[in-house]
Structure formats: C-alpha cells, structure tokens
Amino acid sequence: MIISPKYALSLGYMNNEAVINNTGLKRYNMRFNGDLNLSKRLTATADLSFTLNEQNLRDQGTAAKTNPVFSFIGKIAFSPGKRCVGDRC
C-alpha cells in the first residue's frame, strides 16, 4: 500500500490605501489544501483557511451624523424647493 499525499499552500497580502487620509484596508490570508490517498477506496482531505482584515474606515454606518452619503441623501429628499407632481409645478 502506497500513501500518496498532495498538498498546496497559498499565502496572500493586500494593502489598499484609501483616498481619505488615515483610512484603508489590509488583508492577510492563508489557505492549505491536503489530500491523502490511504487506499484505492479511501481518501482523506483537509482544507484550512485563515483571513485577517484590518480596516481603518471613517464615517461608516447608517446614521446621518456619521455617514456623509446618508446625510447627503437626507438633505436632497427633505430640502425645501420647488416640487413638481406630474405636469403641475
């Protein structure tokens, strides 16, 4: 009986600096795949993965006070001005 192993290891790193100062994303990842043929009918498989994200984000969330996108949408929807309904303005 011959045991024939197959394995693969993958490592990754990403550093994404954003446009706004002191913001960005760093990601580290690792993956290991292993196959072991124990006999003609029996195979063992192991798959492991690990990911670590380090985020430094600004103004995120659904509160209008902390997220500029939601603040902008709210100002457009509720700003005073000319309202048109159909053909009438």
- Displacement of CA 40 from its chain's centroid (Å): 41
Task: Quote the pTM value.
Answer: 0.55
Are 61 and 51 contacting, i.e. CB atoms less than 8 angstroms apart? no
CB 70 within 8 A of CB 62: yes
Q: Can you name the residues that pair with 34 across neighbouring β-strands?
A: 7, 46
Q: Is the pLDDT of residue 66 over 70?
A: no
Amino acid code (one letter) for 30 = M
Among 4-13, 20-29, 70-79, which stretch is predicted with the lowest mean pLDDT?
70-79
Q: Which residues pair with 49 in a beta bridge?
A: 31
% of the chain at pLDDT higher than 90: 36
- Kindly list the strands in the beta sheet with 43-56, ordered across the sheet, starting from the edge strand earlier in the chain: 4-17, 24-37, 43-56
